[in-house]
Amino acid sequence: GAGVSQTPSNKVTEKGKYVELRCDPISGHTALYWYRQSLGQGPEFLIYFQGTGAADDSGLPNDRFFAVRPEGSVSTLKIQRTERGDSAVYLCASSEGGGGADTQYFGPGTRLTVL
Amino acid sequence: AQSVTQLDSQVPVFEEAPVELRCNYSSSVSVYLFWYVQYPNQGLQLLLKYLSGSTLVKGINGFEAEFNKSQTSFHLRKPSVHISDTAEYFCAVSDGRAALIFGKGTTLSVSS
């Protein structure tokens, strides 16, 4: 079946602008995760949804970052007043249940460049 | 807080040679351990995971890893690598929560 998809694959924006990144999880997966991967680093956890609710948002770096999953499927990561330091690849993953033992299936990522 | 250290940032090897990619994690009561691979321009793919039971875990593409609780290590091994194994490898840990903590990655470069 179809894997996790993310759109756009690339996004270039100017400092101070607002961006939205979209994630379509694997059908039937109740858990959805966002990670951020900076150059030369491993993925860094941002937020985890169980169904429609954010079960753990401890990784969001500040209040410019916000994510939603209104119907328990597609999720959108929103970044306000972008800064050059926000440039990274944003990864989305989904899993069946959401426990720590679950296998997380990753999408190809959205490369965000803030000029 | 959990942390993961991948001891080698780059590992160059020749085709058909054995390889070991090292991973250490900070101690916790119990952890789940994962190895993911990232091929160029592709998403992360699970190679294998340790949840409990046998400390030797076998994964896809001929990879295996051994969980060593006393040394808090989870090293990845393959007895004979192929050119197609060239990729970035990430070790990750969960202490039971949903969030995975990743290491910085090891670039495996296989040449002929």
Residue A85 dihedral angles phi and psi, to the nearest 5°: -70, -10
What gap in Å lies between CA B90 and CA B5, rounded to an integer?
A: 10
Number of domains in chain A: 1
Alpha helix positions (H), A40-112: none
Q: What is the pLDDT of residues A4-44, one digit of tens each?
A: 999 999 999 999 999 999 999 999 999 999 999 999 899 99
Are residues B90 and A4, on separate chains, in Cβ contact within 8 Å?
A: no
- Range of the structural domain that residue B67 is part of: 4-111
Amino acid A1: pLDDT: 57
Residue A100 banded pLDDT, cuts 50, 70, 90: confident
Which amino acid is present at B61? Answer: N
Closest Cα to residue A95, out of A37, A38, A55, A41? A55
Stretch B61-81: mean pLDDT? 95
Beta-bridge partners for B96: none
Give the pLDDT band of residue B37 (cuts 50, 70, 90). very high
Tell me if chain A has a CB within 8 Å of the CB of B104: yes
Size of interface A-B (CB pairs under 8 A): 67
pLDDT value of residue B95: 85
Residue A72 lies in a domain: yes
Phi, psi of A61 (to 5 degrees): -70, -30
Report the length, in residues, of chain B.
112
Q: In whole angstroms, give the CA distance from residue B41 to residue B49.
A: 23
Name the residue facing B43 among A45, A56, A108 (closest C-beta): A108
Q: Cβ–Cβ contacts within 10 Å for residue B47, how many? A: 24
Chain A residues within 8 A of B104 when measuring between CB atoms: 40-42
Judge whether residue B91 has pLDDT over 90: yes
CATH code, domain carrying B40: 2.60.40.10
- Say how many domains are in chain B: 1
Calpha distance A85→A75 (Å, rounded): 23
Closest listed residue to residue B7, CA positions, set B65, B76, B86: B76
Q: What is the pLDDT of residue B62?
A: 96
Predicted local distance difference test score (pLDDT) of residue B18: 98
Query: Where does the pLDDT of residue B29 fall: very low under 50, low under 70, confident under 90, or very high at 90 and above?
Result: confident
Mean pLDDT of A94-114: 93
Tell me if A24 is assigned to some domain: yes
* Coil, strand or helix at B85: helix
* A53 in a structural domain: yes
Domain that holds residue A25: 15-96
Residues 6+ apart with CB under 8 A from A32: A23, A25, A48, A49, A69, A75, A92, A93, A94
Task: Work out the percent of chain B whose per-residue pLDDT is above 70.
Answer: 99
Q: Which of residues 43-62 of A touch B (CB under 8 A)?
A: 43-45, 48, 50, 55-56, 58-59
Query: Which residue of A50, A106, A110, A111 is the best one to mutate when testing the B interface, meaning the one whose CB has the most B CBs within 10 A?
Result: A106
For residue A81, pLDDT over 90 is answered with yes
Of B111, B56, B57, the C-alpha closest to B85 is B111
A50 pLDDT band (50/70/90 cuts)?
Answer: very high
Q: CATH no. for residue A62?
A: 2.60.40.10
Three-class SS state of B28: coil
